[in-house]
Structure 1
């Protein structure tokens, strides 16, 4: 796999996981719409912290597995 440079995340529109609650539970935020088929992901409790960038296809497969219940608690 080719390693791409990190996208410019200035001005990114982050959305919180639909599983998040108003009490600030353990959640992630995702920024959509980046070129190069990349999905930036960060910890909602530490928005200034590190961001992980996943290939869009890998992220979609991961979310699909979660929705299908193929994960261990």
Structure 2
């Protein structure tokens, strides 16, 4: 449900310098554990290798706000 919105945001020119990644947490359990993913979907915002914000749940407006923070942080 939220995946098409995630992909649409990644294609917007306003976010062209933001890197978007999807991680299959079943296949990459070590990554999920390392960053503390406990529920799906989980979105995380990192800057310079440090987590600065996150979102759990399929909330399109909250996801857009999270990505917007990436360009203002």
TM-score in terms of structure 1 length: 0.29
Greater helix proportion: 2
Bigger radius of gyration, 1 or 2?
1
Q: Compare relative contact order (CA 8 Å, sep 6+) and give the higher one, 1 or 2.
A: 2
Greater strand proportion: 1
TM-score in terms of structure 2 length: 0.29
